[in-house]
Amino acid sequence: MPLHTAVPKAPNKKGLDITSILTIIFIVILPFGFYFLSKRHSNHNKSRYGLIQSMLMGNKRFAKGSPVHPHVNVNYLQSIAHEQRPKAVVITCSDSRVSPELIFDEGMGDLFVIRTAGNIIGEVELGSVEYAVEHLKVPLVIVMGHERCGAVQAMLSGKLPHNHIKTIIDSLRNETEIKAIPQNDELRLAHCVEANVKHGVKELLSQSEVVQEAVHLGKLQVLGAHYDLDDQKVQIVVQH
């Protein structure tokens, strides 16, 4: 009987299998993906930096006594009558001398303002911030304290009012950042005001998942600032 010898099969000439093709595509495209994500993140940062600088320039105009009072004409007011488009949230004190729109030389509809005595941030204030971040897509939140804050002064006086003001005093007194300031600090009031601002920033970043996610995605920046009643200037004290 004739012997049947196995004939070796020719190599598969169909080319690369689908797994290899996908691997090559992944290797080639991945760096471009990182590049565009990085560029997008960089553009967000530049945009926020420009916004911060614009607001600080507005404050310089205000401090020099030469504000321009933008966005007060009738046509502009009509354009925002049905939809607000604020560019920043400002959380600050209820003090009558601390009006964010004036301090930053901004106009109607430019700022989403939240004001409480001592710029304290509780659940209601957190909800307001989350609305601005989630629904209005605001890219910047500023917590701004001010020189000689009456709420902080009342807390340091040691007096305990027996009405709703006590809630404000207790809230300030329980802040870890304020507790850390020595009793004999000659600048205790100023340092407590700054500590209160830093506490507010920490509350936003630790208590709000909406804020946390927006910051993580590079869509939001949170700043702490101090307003000087004497020279009308704003200084950034902390930023995230």
**Is residue 123 one of the residues assigned to a domain?**
yes
Does the residue 49 lie in any domain? Answer: yes
Cβ–Cβ < 8 Å for 113, 90:
yes
Q: Can you tell me the distance from the alpha carbon of 102 to that of 114, in angstroms, rounded to the nearest whole number?
A: 15
In a domain, 162, yes or no: yes
Q: What domain range is 164 assigned to?
A: 36-239
How many domains is the chain partitioned into structurally?
Answer: 1
9: DSSP letter: P
Contacts of 153 (CB under 8 A, 6+ apart): 189
Confidence (pLDDT) at 216: 97
Q: What is the CA radius of gyration of the chain?
A: 28
Decide if 199 contacts 152 (C-beta within 8 A). no
Distance CA 153, CA 151 (A): 5
Structure tokens belonging to residue 206: 């630790």
Mind listing the pLDDT tens digit of every residue in the chain (240 residues)?
A: 455 555 555 555 455 567 666 666 556 555 544 444 444 444 455 577 899 999 999 999 999 999 999 988 899 999 999 999 999 999 999 999 999 999 999 999 999 999 999 999 999 999 999 999 999 999 999 999 999 999 999 999 988 888 999 999 999 999 999 999 999 998 999 999 999 999 999 999 999 999 999 999 999 999 999 999 999 999 999 998
- Residue 19 falls within a domain, yes or no? no
CB atoms within 10 A of CB 12: 7
149 annotated to a ligand binding site: yes
In a domain, residue 18? The reply is: no
pLDDT at 104: 98
Q: pTM value?
A: 0.80
| CATH code for the domain in which residue 94 is found | 3.40.1050.10
Q: Is residue 10 part of a domain?
A: no
Q: What is the DSSP letter of 129?
A: H
Q: How far apart are CA 21 and CA 7, in angstroms?
A: 30
240 in a labelled binding site: no
CA-to-CA dists, residue 192 to 70, 118, 148, angstroms: 34, 11, 10
- Assigned domain for 1 exists: no
> Which of 111, 105, 107 lies closest to 90, judged by CA?
111
Task: Tell me, yes or no, whether 213 lies in a domain.
Answer: yes
Phi/psi of residue 109, nearest 5 degrees: 85, -5
192 marked among binding-site residues: no
Pairing of strands 221-227, 234-239: antiparallel
Query: Is 93 annotated to bind ligand?
Result: yes
Contacts of 22 (CB under 8 A, 6+ apart): none
